[in-house]
Structure 1
Amino acid sequence: ILVPVVSGFALPYIKPWSIRFGIPAICTLVAMLVFISGTGSYVHVKPKGSTLTRVCRVFVASTLKIHIRHPNDVSELYEKRDLNEELVPNVALRDKDNLKRSTRGQGNTFFLEQANKMNRKVGKLKVPLPTFLMFYDMTKSQVTKFYKAMENGLSESRRKFAPAIGIALGMILAVLCCITAAKVEERRISVIKKHGLLEKPDNTIPMTIFWLLPQFLLLGGVDALACESVASFFHGQVPASMKNYMILFTEAVFGAGIVGEVLSVFVVGRISEQGGQPSWFGDTLNKSRLDNYYWTLAALSLINLFLYAMIAILYAYRDSETDEDQTAAQEGFWTVVLLLLENPYLVPILE
């Protein structure tokens, strides 16, 4: 806790930018040297074949045999389930989580831009903007403990549902975050109009910055559940031969969410201009209608949550990491909901 507190309150008061960037650069250099110092102790394991080659073979074979007619009697079919084909339902389930990445991206863009022109004073103390990122990180840390406690509290046979619970909770928090951001932005716009600041984008808005605190806290929860549940999902639901690629695949999913954020701003901006109406993203933040954008994100996130629930009902959860060919029986999404409601470990552990 000491490091983020010091960095959040001390660094903003350092005026020279060379020192501001110099301190993190030195810390990064020291961390890199410590990391490199352990090179000699690393255990290098040679890869046994290429899993990517096997994946490509599945697609090539499917394409070449697409013209072959299926027999009328299904008993004449010969089917060998390739473990790499299990990525298909995994991708479908994870794809429903991409919109949540778009919500997460607002924290480093619009949220901070809103905070920059709001009243940051508490008495004589001026609250630095990185303080809200510190609250975000602290919430992320505590929600991570909450998720791990929930996962450890489930029995061995039910632990496979923990990632599904985490993803669902993250989506719910994403919806609440968008709704909260929309309501706060509506209030901010009303204050701007009341004090005649619509054409004065550089003036400070007489509205305390702490109105933004709830959405930063919710955003921290979304980020924590996204990281932990995605990692846990891939660890438990993919074949052992694919686990080495899951870190990169997870990063690809997160990256797709960032791209989705940019595209959502572009598409929503274009649609809002239809009929000669002004764009929701004006030349200045005071002339923009971010509240409408947040409401749109909330609606899309809610639809995405229902789509995820439908896929979760049909998804076959893997029982064991050691048994590569067996999948769990369909126990349904409502079983996950019941586990969520009855589990006593859902109370977060605050240390």
Structure 2
Amino acid sequence: MITLAVYNQLITPLWKKWKGKPGFTNLQKMAIGLVLSVLGMAAAALTEGKRSSVARTSSTPTLPISVFWLIPHHFLVGSGEAFTYTAQLDFFITQSPKGVKTMSTGLFLTTLSLGFFVSSFLVVVVKKVTEGRDGQGWLVDNINHGRLYCFYGLLAILGIINFAIYLVCAV
């Protein structure tokens, strides 16, 4: 919500003053959202790498690392979703023929739910593929023994591939 307020109150007026346009197009907002999501996953990978290295070297059950390390990647991913979701919904509503606007909104929500199912499937596949003979892998019950940073890195790579496909389709 903060991202949208900053966009509407700060970025849009500056963009209008600089470019003479009222703001970004829906396709540009979706691209911005995808880039922010990739940056968020990269930041999550780096943060988790730092957290896991601290966990391996620390002998105390409570890690000497601040929870505020989570802010950058949560902010980036949340901002990416704000840009992407609002632009997608607006795109579906404004670009659909008059008789299918309600159906396009339903399609938007269906793509979101389908994405959650695909995410769950990806977690299951990565867990099975990366599980070693000793039962350890990227995604384990005790995150101090896993390599969650590799999973976040994989998500960043998949985000880059998704962005490249998006650019081809958007053109």
TM-score (normalised: structure 2): 0.86
* Contact 1:140–1:223, Cα closer than 8 Å, also in 2: no
With CA pairs under 8 Å and 6+ residues apart, which has the higher RCO, 1 or 2?
2
Superposition deviation, residue 303 in structure 1:
0.7
User: How many residues are aligned here?
Assistant: 167
* Contact 1:280–1:288, Cα closer than 8 Å, also in 2: yes
Instruction: Provide Cα deviations, 1:84-132, integer angstroms capped at 9, x if missing partner.
Output: xxxxxxxxxxxxxxxxxxxxxxxxxxxxxxxxxxxxxxxxxxxxxxxxx
* Contact 2:51–2:65, Cα closer than 8 Å, also in 1: yes
* Contact 2:3–2:79, Cα closer than 8 Å, also in 1: yes
Q: Decide which of 11, 22, 31 is 1:168's aligned counterpart.
A: 31
Instruction: Provide Cα deviations, 1:254-300, integer angstroms capped at 9, x if missing partner.
Output: 11111121111111111212677722111212112110000000001
CA RMSD of aligned residues (A): 2.4
Given residue 142 of structure 1, which amino acid in structure 2 is its aligned partner?
Answer: V
Superposition deviation, residue 247 in structure 1:
2.1
Q: Aligned to 2:143, what secondary structure does the other structure show?
A: coil
Q: Which structure shows the higher helix fraction?
A: 2
TM-score (normalised: structure 1): 0.44
Alignment of 1:67-82 (within 5 A): none
Give the aligned partner of residue 123 of structure 2: 265
* Contact 2:47–2:70, Cα closer than 8 Å, also in 1: yes
Ranges in structure 2 where 5+ consecutive residues have no aligned partner: none
Matched residues, percent identical?
28
* Contact 2:139–2:147, Cα closer than 8 Å, also in 1: yes
* Contact 1:178–1:295, Cα closer than 8 Å, also in 2: yes
Superposition deviation, residue 222 in structure 1:
1.2
Q: Does 1:183 align with 2:78?
A: no
CA distance in 2, matches of 1:236, 1:222: 21
Ranges in structure 1 where 5+ consecutive residues have no aligned partner: 1-136, 198-202, 314-351
Question: Does the C-alpha gap of structure 1 residues 286 and 274 become closer, same or farther in structure 2, counting only changes over 3 Å?
Answer: closer
Q: Decide which of 239, 242, 257 is 2:100's aligned counterpart.
A: 242
Q: Does 1:215 align with 2:67?
A: no
* Contact 2:31–2:84, Cα closer than 8 Å, also in 1: no
Give the aligned partner of residue 142 of structure 1: 6
Superposition deviation, residue 309 in structure 1:
0.6
Superposition deviation, residue 177 in structure 1:
0.2
Q: Does 1:192 align with 2:55?
A: yes
Given residue 309 of structure 1, which amino acid in structure 2 is its aligned partner?
Answer: L
Which of structures 1 and 2 has the bigger CA Rg? 1
Q: Does 1:294 align with 2:159?
A: no
Question: Does the C-alpha gap of structure 1 residues 145 and 258 become closer, same or farther in structure 2, counting only changes over 3 Å?
Answer: farther
Question: Does the C-alpha gap of structure 1 residues 301 and 273 become closer, same or farther in structure 2, counting only changes over 3 Å?
Answer: same
CA distance in 2, matches of 1:247, 1:204: 46
Q: Does 1:154 align with 2:21?
A: yes
Give the aligned partner of residue 230 of structure 1: 88
Given residue 174 of structure 1, which amino acid in structure 2 is its aligned partner?
Answer: S
CA distance in 1, matches of 2:136, 2:112: 32
* Contact 1:141–1:224, Cα closer than 8 Å, also in 2: no
